[in-house]
Amino acid sequence: MRLPFRLREGYQAFRSARLRVEQTRYRDLAERGQSPEVMIIGCCDSRVSPEVIFDARPGELFVVRNVANLVPPHSPSVGYHGVSAALEFALAELKVKHILVLGHAQCGGVRAFAESPGAHSSGDFIGNWMSLMGPAAETVGPRAGRPHAEYLEQLEKASIGNSLANLLTFPRLRAMVERGDLTLHGAYFGVATGKLTVRNPATGTFEDV
């Protein structure tokens, strides 16, 4: 079965342009392996690609993407823990120095949670996953009396803070932060504007880069 035309077209463009420029870097990465200093936990939204936003070269970013850029709290139970496994690999094997939780405006996952809380059954993948936003929603408070767009932005930003707090429930990660070996960051990307703001850890507010 042939790839969709857009993918084949894009790959040919990659081969004829970027690969030629960075062929040496790709070969070096293949021989030495990857050693990115930055891990990004972002949303799987197709409009928010960390590699594009940060103009990253191959091997510079270790990226994990999921619905609404959520981080579950440390829970070493039986099951499949994709984000937790990626964190473990980033810390133990790659020894990253920075972890950035990257949220964004117009997040479909956040909107679904805000507009239809509890709409998914407890056995539903999305419902179980989005329940992680509960603490962020409690922080923001009821949406009554606030413009809907304003409430959604507050929830999107509060969720970034909640994910950062959940990162600190991982014992190894917390120890690295306390030793100064690892720094946590939060950022918020405006899809329409392209504007990036960074979370101030002391105040929880988002400031221009």
Model confidence pLDDT, tens digit, residues 153-188? 999 999 999 999 999 999 999 999 999 999 999 999
Q: Who has greater pLDDT, 154 or 146?
A: 154
CATH of domain 35-208: 3.40.1050.10
Per-residue pLDDT reduced to its tens digit, 32-89: 999 999 999 999 999 999 999 999 999 999 999 999 999 999 988 767 899 999 999 9
Sketch the domain layout of the chain as residue ranges.
1-33, 35-208
The whole-angstrom distance between residue 110's C-alpha and the CA centroid of its chain comes to 13
Burial of 20 by CB count in 10 Å (0-12 exposed, 13-18 middle, 19+ buried)? Answer: exposed
Q: Answer for the pair 98, 37: CB distance below 8 angstroms, yes or no.
A: yes
Q: Alpha-carbon distance 42 to 173, whole Å?
A: 18
Kindly state the helix (H) or strand (E) to which residue 43 belongs, with its residue range: strand 38-43
DSSP-derived secondary structure letter, 121: -
Structure confidence at residue 127 (pLDDT): 82
8: pLDDT strictly greater than 80: yes
